[in-house]
Amino acid sequence: MFLSEVCNIIKTIKIINLNKNRKVKTITNSTEIAENSSILVINSIKFKKQFLTKSQKKNIPALITNKYIKEFYNTQFIVKNTNKESLKILQGLFPYKPDKSIAITGTNGKTSVAWYLSQICNQANLKTKMLGTLGFYKNHKKVKDTFLTTPAFEDLYQFSHSKNKSTYNFIFEASSHALSQNRLRNIPVDIAAITNISNDHLDYHKNMSNYTKAKYLLFKKYLKNEGFAVINSNLNNLNELKKIIKKRKIKNIVYGAKDIFFEKKNKLYLNIYKKKYLIKNLNINNIEKQNIECAISIALLLKIDIKLIIKTLNKLKTAPGRLQKIKLKKGKGVVIIDYAHTPDALKNVLLENTTNNIKPSILFGCGGNRDFGKRELMALVAKKYANKVYITDDNPRNEDPKKIRKEILKYCPKGIEISDRKIAIKTAINNMLENDTLILAGKGHEKYQIFKNKRIPFDDSKVAKEAIDKKR
């Protein structure tokens, strides 16, 4: 689309420095994502100099803004309502919507559900786009990394829609921040699923009540009237969600205990609407069980044949950085890399790997400038459910890493403090006996650590493999 065409689509107050022949392919509100073919949306008069410098370095062709920015020398479309006008451009650039749009929310498990569902769809020859913590995928193949679990509306729209007419389903993770900030805006949600709700993001939401309400917005505000809700039977405040669904007359599936759930009686069975299916050759742990039940529920709503779903189950692989196992060279010892970064997730991964009252050891830290109340809770979980505890750095961001570690150690005094995560991992692995279990928690799939405003390359799995190879 040329900028001359943009003029015909949107309603402007004023156009400055119009370059009619400049071509644009995308629209975004992020200078990080913007390219030299992007229109940059500025929703506020507060436009920091560093963002302006970035936009000029990238030679961004145009701004759509509600206030003239004199330091920007390319085309500016001055409009009354940036949201309204940017949507018109998006509809022109990406006119085709997905067949079905599936949004998954919850404190833990969003990524795993999306990952399992993508695999099931792939086996059923259903084309998919998937967006979330792991990045953007097409047909279960990675296309690119993304900065946020759920990006800004403009980016979410472009990931979900397409330039050319095609048949596909869009699977995405809906974070509480995105839901409360109205990032989904005009994204149609056909199927809304929720995994669980536990303590997280209280630095932003202030309390659990606000956090829960943000999650439930997916069902109250964004799910279509004719859409389907997929609900975990073990959800806290389940009655509150049921009221929302009943009031809106939304059809729903309850997994975990009612409509769809696994049951073990000598053999493993999958119950689907009171009909039992024998499942062979599937080793499933309690953490992933409910995530797979959720993915199966959504797959059935997508009209995927139950026999094909069952056939696919023993081919399913866990998402990167989720319960990822690396075995020691001797004995039955194992290092488990997991994204667990909430008290509930930490407790679950520790209990899942406790056998015959033998506790696993754990290595973790807490993110800086985030949900300070989590530190005490995670420390208490580690103190109670872990054998050895190694306290190290996660993503300190702009906070003093030593201060974060001290706050954790206050409630888990048995913790061994090692600031450098690489040294901490190597030390923890060297201290393992042949049959020990060590959990490296918090980072999962991430390939970096954040110190100040810099992302330093770092990979838990890579460091762990190196340490295992050199283990004495």
| pLDDT at residue 179 is higher than 90 | yes
DSSP H or E stretch at residue 117:
helix 110-123
Which of 35, 63, 93 is a domain's end point?
A: 93
Q: How many domains does the chain have?
A: 3
| pLDDT at residue 50 is higher than 70 | no
Same domain as 138, residue 89: no
- Whole-number pLDDT of residue 285: 87
Domain hosting 272: range is 100-313
Model confidence pLDDT, tens digit, residues 334-383:
999 999 999 999 999 999 999 999 999 999 999 999 999 999 999 999 99
Rg of the chain in Å (alpha carbons): 24
Where residue 410 sits, what CATH number does that domain have?
3.90.190.20
Instruction: Count CB neighbours of 11 within 10 A.
Output: 11
Q: Is residue 319 part of a domain?
A: no
Q: Is residue 81 part of a domain?
A: yes
Give the predicted TM-score (pTM) of the model.
0.94
Which of 290, 313, 336 is a domain's end point?
A: 313
- Averaged confidence pLDDT in the chain: 95
Model confidence pLDDT, tens digit, residues 230-251:
999 999 889 999 999 999 999 9
Residue 286: pLDDT band with limits 50, 70, 90:
confident
Residue 72: pLDDT band with limits 50, 70, 90:
confident
What is the residue whose two structure tokens read 């809700």? Answer: 229
**pLDDT higher at 55 or 89:** 89
Same domain as 388, residue 247: no
Angle, vertex CA 304, rays to CA 303 and CA 305, nearest 5: 110
Beta-carbon contacts of residue 352 (< 8 Å; ≥ 6 apart): 285, 286, 287
The residues with which 162 forms a beta bridge, in sequence order, are: 96
Q: Is residue 444 part of a domain?
A: yes
- Whole-number pLDDT of residue 472: 67
DSSP 94: -
28 closest CA partner among 159, 129, 166: 159
Same domain as 118, residue 65: no
The fraction of the chain above a pLDDT of 70, given in percent, is 98
Q: Is residue 367 part of a domain?
A: yes
Instruction: Count CB neighbours of 26 within 10 A.
Output: 19
- Distance (Å, whole) CA 322 – CA 332: 20
- Distance (Å, whole) CA 423 – CA 389: 14
CB 3 within 8 A of CB 62: yes
Residue 44: pLDDT band with limits 50, 70, 90:
low
Same domain as 289, residue 329: no
Same domain as 360, residue 264: no
Token output for 274: 């009171």
- Whole-number pLDDT of residue 237: 84
- Whole-number pLDDT of residue 107: 95
Same domain as 113, residue 70: no
Same domain as 419, residue 280: no
- Distance (Å, whole) CA 140 – CA 122: 7
Same domain as 245, residue 335: no
Which of 63, 93, 123 is a domain's end point?
A: 93
Model confidence pLDDT, tens digit, residues 410-466:
999 999 999 999 999 999 999 999 999 999 999 999 999 999 989 999 999 999 999
Residue 99: pLDDT band with limits 50, 70, 90:
very high
Instruction: Count CB neighbours of 446 within 10 A.
Output: 18
Same domain as 216, residue 118: yes
Where residue 7 sits, what CATH number does that domain have?
3.40.1390.10
- Whole-number pLDDT of residue 46: 58
> How many Cα atoms are found within 13 Å in the side-chain-facing hemisphere of 4?
4
Same domain as 381, residue 303: no
Q: Is residue 318 part of a domain?
A: no
Greatest alpha-carbon pair distance for the chain in Å reads 74
Same domain as 216, residue 196: yes
Residue 65: pLDDT band with limits 50, 70, 90:
very high
The fraction of the chain above a pLDDT of 90, given in percent, is 87
- Whole-number pLDDT of residue 252: 97
Same domain as 169, residue 115: yes
Find the range with the poorest average confidence among 115-119, 207-211, 251-255, 346-350: 207-211
Q: Is residue 366 part of a domain?
A: yes
